[in-house]
């Protein structure tokens, strides 16, 4: 069903509306996953050795890691199920909207995160993560629905760039509250007022996410088809997945791309998740204040440089082809990992952060648009993108598990970087099997 004023595929306003969801949701991974929430969590748990949870004593960082891993497991195994249902009933927007509100409301619920109510706090953290990643399944699946093949690289890059800009703006505002709470009338001792400002930041993330999602939700089409909802709908979701799996045999180029994507995405997503922890543990900061400011600056640097990196990569793909560009970017990533293995000073860490920013957004945007070009003409775009999403999430689970094991056995996060070097080079070699003139 279409509204009378529904924008047509390829319309620049529709592409901008789709990309605006990156602006809306990117505050979650930056503020909640990477900066303010980790600082808040460490602050309230730094004076205790363990946290009791479900009858067991956990180290504070171990507990948050386990909860994060569990959430990714659920997202990885449920997203194909949900996307199959969404494609079957022809209303993927409804599912996207549900997860947006689950995620944004849970972010606001993090205001109540305290060790005294750890179960409620962890539940909000858990649901916010699921809401964010599950909504991306449906958001990404819209890409081939709103843009033609020649527009996909630009549209994907525009989304990532808008996400970088929006998330950086809110992060800068949140950090000003945390560092200068008296500017905003937040009273208390310095530590109390800063913690309270962090809680306000969680609320602002939820409001920002829900509010700015409305533009995309208004303009994105409901779906491609409509079918009557029956009691067999859940089984139909699995049947849709089986059909997509069987279709992969008919698209050999896609079967070559997915293993390559899995390999380098495992390294990519793990690097993104552990970068701040690596900087905290392996870099020789002069004092704790320099460490905090240094980590924040490096994260901002990655985001700002990433804005340009997404467009640079899109430009390179138009000139040299998607596959060749991805091969080169993977080798650049491998080079950055080699550099990171030896860095020790803050200046070297900032240099690595700038390099990461340049290729991080580019490889993510180009991977998404390349996959969009490779999937066959179909109404079941959500089911195809659920495979993409599951590939990425399983990579995160495996990457984090291997990273943690190497770190635990050797006693150094630095040794885990050797794994990333191997994965990026392997990803480049697997991509080289794909004819560059195909995308």
Least confidently predicted of 13-17, 82-86, 208-212:
82-86
- Residue 5 falls within a domain, yes or no? no
Residue 340 or residue 35, greater confidence: 340
Between residues 62 and 16, the one the model is more confident about: 16
Question: Is there a domain that residue 2 lies in?
Answer: no
Q: Residue 87 belongs to what domain range?
A: 12-438
Residue 110 belongs to some domain of the structure: yes
Q: Exposed/middle/buried for 312, CB within 10 Å: 0-12, 13-18, 19+?
A: middle
pLDDT tens track for 51-83: 777 777 776 666 777 787 788 888 877 776 776
Between CA 80 and CA 384 the distance in angstroms is 9
Whether residue 254 is predicted with pLDDT greater than 60 in this model: the reply is yes
DSSP state, 434? S
Output the pLDDT for position 317. 86
Q: What is the pLDDT of residues 309-319, one digit of tens each?
A: 777 888 888 88
| pLDDT over threshold 80, residue 325 | yes
Residue 173 or 281, more confident: 173
Q: What is the CATH number of the domain that holds 304?
A: 1.20.1250.20
Reported confidence tier of residue 1, pLDDT bands at 50, 70, 90 = very low
Whether pLDDT at 2 is above 60: no
Query: pLDDT digit string (tens) for 375-415?
Result: 877 655 666 776 777 778 888 888 877 777 776 677 667 88
Band the pLDDT of 235: cuts 50, 70, 90: low
* Residues 339-358: tens digit of each pLDDT: 988 988 888 888 888 888 88
Residue 1 counted as domain residue? no
- Residue 229's pLDDT is 53
Tokens of 327: 């091969």
In a domain, 353, yes or no: yes
Could you tell me how far CA 77 lies from the centroid of its own chain? 17
Contact 235, 83 (CB under 8 A): no
Average pLDDT of 428-438? 82
The terminus-to-terminus CA distance of the chain in angstroms comes to 32
Q: Diameter of the chain by CA atoms?
A: 64
Q: Which residue has the higher pLDDT, 213 or 189?
A: 213
Whole-prediction pTM value? 0.74
Q: Are 151 and 15 in contact (CB under 8 A)?
A: yes
4 in a domain, yes or no?
Answer: no
Judged by DSSP in three states, 56 sits in strand
pLDDT at position 237, please? 56
3-state DSSP of 239-272: HHHHHHHHHHHHCHHHHHHHHHHHHHHHHHHHHH
Neighbours of 185 (CB within 10 A): 7
CA dist., res. 324 & res. 5, Å (int): 40
Contact indicator for 23, 208 with CB cutoff of 8 Å:
no
Is residue 6 one of the residues assigned to a domain? no
pLDDT tens-digit series, residues 107-165: 999 999 988 888 898 899 999 999 998 888 788 778 777 887 777 777 877 777 788 78
Query: What mean pLDDT do residues 90-106 have?
Result: 88
CA-nearest of 299, 291, 374, 361 to 332 is 361
For residues 84 and 48, the model is more confident at: 48
Calpha distance 141→364 (Å, rounded): 15
**Residue 234 included in any domain:** yes
Q: Is the pLDDT of residue 372 over 70?
A: yes
Phi, psi of 304 (to 5 degrees): -65, -45
Distance CA 379, CA 51 (A): 48
Kindly report, residue by residue over 271-301, the tens digit of the pLDDT.
877 777 677 667 887 876 677 677 777 877 8
Q: Domain count of the chain?
A: 1
């Amino acid at each position: 069903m279409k509204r009378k004023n529904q924008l047509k595929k390829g319309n620049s306003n529709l592409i901008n509306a789709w990309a605006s969801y990156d602006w809306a949701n990117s505050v979650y991974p930056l503020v909640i996953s990477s900066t303010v929430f980790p600082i808040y969590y460490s602050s309230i748990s730094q004076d205790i050795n363990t946290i009791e949870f479900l009858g067991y004593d956990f180290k504070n960082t171990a507990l948050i890691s386990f909860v994060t891993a569990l959430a990714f497991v659920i997202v990885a195994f449920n997203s194909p199920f949900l996307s199959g249902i969404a494609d079957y009933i022809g209303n993927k927007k409804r599912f996207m909207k549900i997860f947006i509100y689950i995620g944004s409301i849970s972010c606001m619920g993090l205001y109540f995160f305290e060790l005294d109510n750890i179960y409620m706090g962890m539940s909000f953290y858990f649901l916010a993560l699921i809401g964010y990643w599950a909504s991306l399944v449906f958001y990404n699946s819209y890409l081939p629905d709103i843009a033609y093949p020649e527009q996909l690289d630009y549209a994907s890059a525009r989304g990532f760039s808008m996400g970088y800009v929006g998330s950086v703006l809110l992060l800068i505002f949140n950090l000003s509250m945390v560092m200068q709470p008296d500017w905003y009338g937040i009273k208390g001792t310095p530590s109390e007022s800063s913690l309270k400002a962090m809680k306000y930041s969680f609320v602002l993330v939820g409001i920002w996410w829900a509010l700015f999602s409305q533009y995309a939700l208004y303009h994105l089409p409901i779906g491609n088809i409509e079918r009557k909802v029956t009691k067999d709908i859940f089984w139909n979701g699995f049947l849709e997945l089986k059909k997509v799996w069987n279709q992969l045999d008919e698209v050999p180029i896609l079967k070559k791309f997915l293993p390559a994507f899995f390999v380098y995405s495992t390294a990519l997503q793990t690097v993104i998740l552990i970068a701040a922890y690596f900087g905290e543990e392996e870099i020789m900061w002069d004092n704790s204040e320099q460490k905090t400011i240094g980590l924040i600056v490096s994260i901002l640097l990655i985001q700002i440089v990433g804005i340009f990196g997404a467009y640079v990569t899109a430009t390179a793909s138009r000139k040299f082809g998607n596959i060749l560009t991805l091969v080169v970017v993977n080798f650049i990533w491998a080079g950055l990992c080699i550099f990171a293995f030896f860095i020790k000073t803050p200046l070297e860490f900032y240099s690595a952060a700038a390099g990461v920013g340049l290729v991080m957004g580019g490889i993510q945007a180009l991977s998404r648009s390349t996959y969009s070009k490779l999937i066959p003409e179909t109404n079941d775009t959500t089911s195809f993108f659920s495979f993409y999403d599951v590939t990425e999430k399983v990579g995160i689970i495996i990457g984090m598990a291997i990273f943690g094991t190497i770190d635990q056995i050797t006693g150094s996060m630095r040794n885990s970087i050797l794994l990333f070097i191997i994965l990026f080079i392997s990803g480049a070699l697997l991509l080289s099997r794909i004819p560059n003139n195909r995308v």
